[in-house]
């Protein structure tokens, strides 16, 4: 546990790129970490993948709290990430782990988005709302509406140089459709129904905030599912209400607190909608109510009994690869699903995922797992959008995405000479892809490039905050129950060394694990080359805990002369 606590500090600093983890984050991390069990129970084919990963390592909490606390872990490597909507969204800093399918879906939206012409452009200049605040100009640039989902690409100009800005969520945050408010607020004005107000409206807006393209220029998207009553409408009168803007990098300081709105008409663009017939699809009292996909987004809705205690809903392709979630759920892991109380002993949950290609042949596995109740999968549905069918599944159908690793071995660490660099480990995991560089050199900032077949796949950066002066070498050890990424017996004596530890979110979707990977390392300031090394990745064996095999002295005789074990697990 002590080693894990130290890893938590190192990895939180590395992922947030902070010299020290701010007290508010560290205290929260320690509070949650303290609630984790000393040892996660062996998997009995009931623990969901997200729970396995969350309980496996406290370091994964750092990424979650980066999102939950609104902290911007600025990483220059992420500036090369995916577009949101249209031509202006070409350099988006993503705080979530991207998925290939989400990337492709956003590009399809980009291709289909309708630019707002100069004579129709919606633009508003917003005065500063207080001392030290700055005026801003907000402009609607592009719109996509397919009868079910709306995406609006927005550009902001403001005299600011923060890596990321974010919206406030108070009584002035809203979406109005044909004059009707879609976002619920309590008596204090706090947003209570941002993701679901019970009507089928789901807010899919970018949870990562406004991304800086260049100094003074930011871009974002607002996106939502149209409520059930307006599904298929030929046009919508849309009002996007903004409550004000915060600076993510400065303890959420307000840069403009003046509320403002953007108004426009969304005209329907025809798009292929594929539906899976859900009639009769019920398991464990959970009913699949709706499931369909468009090129932009995929929607799944279930109804389940209130008797379930804190159920979690999720979905992935049948091979375990993440589809990608929109809004506060984007990335590989669904942090939450929208929920509505029907008042009849039943609740509803809705998921909005990235859209599927028309020729996508993989099935989608959707599940509901009762976290604090039965501790098992109460329902598993297998959706085939190509055939338009639904099958009932089981926990066996909820697969983990493949994991690939490279490890240099203890002897290579021991042989490292002063001033040298080498790849220590690459862990190509969908939720937390990591790269470890060992060195006998001084601490310095690095640019790390990953190449395959002569083309650069992605780039990452290291600095002093990802540096470890006293690293210990250990091999990866993967279990399906996720209880450990390493074992004490896989740590090697006499292997203390210096190390750069990089969290590279786009690595999993950028590399072909079946091809050799060349890692090139440069001094970030001078550009001097420090390393060019080719390695091959090996798919890790994900397996259950070994079955207990009793020792001979544990076996006792039976009346028929056979032997049995009285030792219980």
Write out 263-293 in H/E/C secondary structure: EEEEECCCCCCEECCCCCCEECCEEEEEEEE
Is the model's pLDDT at 42 over the cut of 80? Answer: no
Confidence band, pLDDT 50/70/90 cuts, at residue 460 = very high
Residue 291 lies in a domain: yes
Distances (CA, A) of 133 to 8, 136, 216: 36, 10, 14
The helix/strand/coil state of 329 is helix
**Helix (H) / strand (E) containing 101:** helix 100-112
At which residue do the structure tokens 């099958």 appear? 391
Same domain, 125 and 246: yes
205, 240, 267: which is the final residue of a domain?
267
Is 117 or 282 the better-scoring residue by pLDDT? 282
Residue 370 lies in a domain: yes
> Lowest-pLDDT range, 95-104, 133-142, 378-387?
95-104
Is the model's pLDDT at 544 over the cut of 90? Answer: no
The answer for residues whose C-beta is within 8 angstroms of residue 158's C-beta and 6 or more apart is: 134, 135, 136, 137, 165, 216, 218, 245, 255, 256
Same domain, 426 and 368: no
Same domain, 21 and 143: no
Same domain, 303 and 245: no
Confidence band, pLDDT 50/70/90 cuts, at residue 208 = low
Tens of pLDDT along 264-295?
999 999 899 999 999 889 999 999 999 999 99
At which residue do the structure tokens 């039965």 appear? 374
The answer for residues whose C-beta is within 8 angstroms of residue 97's C-beta and 6 or more apart is: 63, 331, 332, 333, 430, 431, 432, 433, 505, 508
Same domain, 367 and 450: no
Same domain, 92 and 228: yes
Distances (CA, A) of 508 to 99, 193, 263, 363, 468: 8, 33, 39, 21, 24
Contact in structure between 465 and 18 (CB atoms under 8 Å):
yes
Same domain, 408 and 393: no
- pLDDT, averaged across the chain: 76
Question: Which neighbouring-strand residues pair with 185?
Answer: 191
The token pair at 51 is 């729970």
Residue 413 lies in a domain: yes
What is the rounded distance in angstroms from the CA atom of residue 519 to the CA atom of residue 428?
14
Same domain, 376 and 487: no
Same domain, 244 and 299: no
Residues in the chain: 569
Residue 86: predicted pLDDT: 43
Same domain, 115 and 226: yes
Is the model's pLDDT at 17 over the cut of 80? Answer: no
Residue 318 lies in a domain: yes
Same domain, 197 and 102: yes
Q: Which residues of 208-238 are buried (b: 16+ CB within 10 A; e: fewer)?
A: bbbbbbeeeebbbbbbbbbbeebeebeebeb
The token pair at 155 is 């550009």
CATH for 102: 2.60.40.1630
Residue 288: predicted pLDDT: 96
What is the rounded distance in angstroms from the CA atom of residue 47 to the CA atom of residue 566?
27
Residue 467 lies in a domain: yes
> Lowest-pLDDT range, 99-108, 466-475, 493-502?
99-108
Same domain, 138 and 249: yes
CATH for 444: 2.60.40
Q: How many domains does one find in the chain?
A: 4
Residue 109 lies in a domain: yes
267, 292, 309: which is the final residue of a domain?
267
% the chain with pLDDT above 90 = 39
Residue 480 lies in a domain: yes
**Domain around 120:** 76-267
Residue 565 lies in a domain: no
Please state the φ and ψ torsions of residue 484, each to the nearest 5 degrees.
-160, 140
């Amino acid at each position: 546990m002590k080693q894990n606590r130290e890893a938590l500090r190192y990895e939180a600093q590395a992922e947030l790129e902070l010299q020290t983890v701010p007290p508010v984050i560290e205290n929260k991390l320690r509070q949650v970490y303290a609630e984790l069990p000393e040892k996660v129970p062996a998997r009995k084919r009931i623990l969901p993948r997200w729970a396995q990963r969350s309980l496996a390592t406290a370091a994964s909490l750092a990424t979650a709290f980066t999102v939950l606390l609104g902290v911007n872990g600025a990483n220059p490597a992420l500036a090369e990430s995916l577009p949101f909507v249209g031509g202006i969204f070409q350099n988006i800093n993503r705080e979530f782990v991207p998925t290939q399918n989400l990337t492709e879906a956003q590009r399809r939206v980009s291709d289909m988005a309708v630019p707002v012409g100069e004579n129709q452009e919606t633009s508003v200049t917003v005065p500063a709302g207080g001392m030290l605040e700055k005026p801003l100009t907000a402009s609607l640039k592009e719109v996509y509406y397919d009868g079910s989902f709306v995406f609006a690409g927005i550009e902001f100009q403001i005299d600011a140089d923060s890596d990321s800005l974010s919206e406030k969520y108070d009584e002035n945050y809203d979406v109005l459709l044909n004059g009707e408010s879609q976002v619920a607020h309590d008596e204090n004005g706090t947003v209570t129904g941002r993701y679901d107000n019970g009507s089928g409206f789901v807010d899919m807006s970018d949870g990562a905030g406004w991304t800086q393209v260049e100094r003074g220029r930011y871009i974002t998207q607002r996106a939502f599912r149209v409520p059930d009553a307006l599904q298929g409408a030929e046009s919508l009168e849309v009002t996007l209400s903004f409550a004000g803007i915060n600076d993510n990098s400065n303890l959420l300081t307000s840069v403009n607190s003046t509320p403002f709105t953007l108004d426009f008409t969304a005209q329907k663009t025809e798009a292929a909608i594929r539906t899976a017939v859900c009639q009769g699809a019920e398991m464990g009292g959970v009913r699949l109510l709706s499931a369909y996909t468009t090129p932009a987004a995929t929607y799944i809705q279930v109804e389940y009994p209130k008797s379930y205690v804190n159920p979690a809903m999720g979905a992935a392709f049948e091979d375990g690869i993440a589809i990608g979630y929109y809004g506060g759920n984007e990335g590989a892991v669904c942090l939450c699903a929208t929920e509505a109380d029907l008042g009849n002993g039943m609740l509803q949950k809705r998921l909005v995922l990235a859209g599927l290609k028309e020729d996508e042949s993989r099935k989608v596995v959707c599940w509901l797992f009762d976290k604090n109740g039965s501790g098992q999968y109460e329902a598993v549905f297998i959706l085939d959008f190509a055939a338009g069918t639904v099958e009932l599944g089981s926990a066996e159908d909820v697969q983990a995405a493949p994991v690939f690793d490279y490890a240099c071995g203890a002897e290579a660490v021991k042989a490292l000479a002063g001033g040298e660099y080498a790849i220590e480990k690459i862990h190509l995991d969908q939720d937390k892809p990591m790269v470890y560089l060992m060195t006998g050199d001084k601490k310095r900032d690095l640019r790390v490039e990953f190449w395959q077949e002569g083309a650069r796949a992605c780039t990452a950066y290291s600095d002093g905050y990802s540096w470890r002066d006293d690293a210990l070498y250990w091999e990866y050890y993967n279990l399906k129950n996720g209880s450990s990424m390493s074992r004490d017996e896989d740590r090697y004596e006499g292997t203390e060394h210096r190390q750069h530890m990089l969290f590279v979110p786009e690595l999993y979707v950028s590399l072909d694990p079946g091809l050799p990977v060349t890692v090139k390392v440069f001094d970030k300031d001078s550009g001097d080359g420090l390393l060019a090394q080719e390695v091959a990745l090996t798919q890790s064996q994900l397996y259950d805990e070994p079955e207990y095999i009793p020792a001979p002295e544990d076996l006792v005789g039976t009346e028929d002369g056979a032997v049995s074990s009285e030792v219980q697990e």
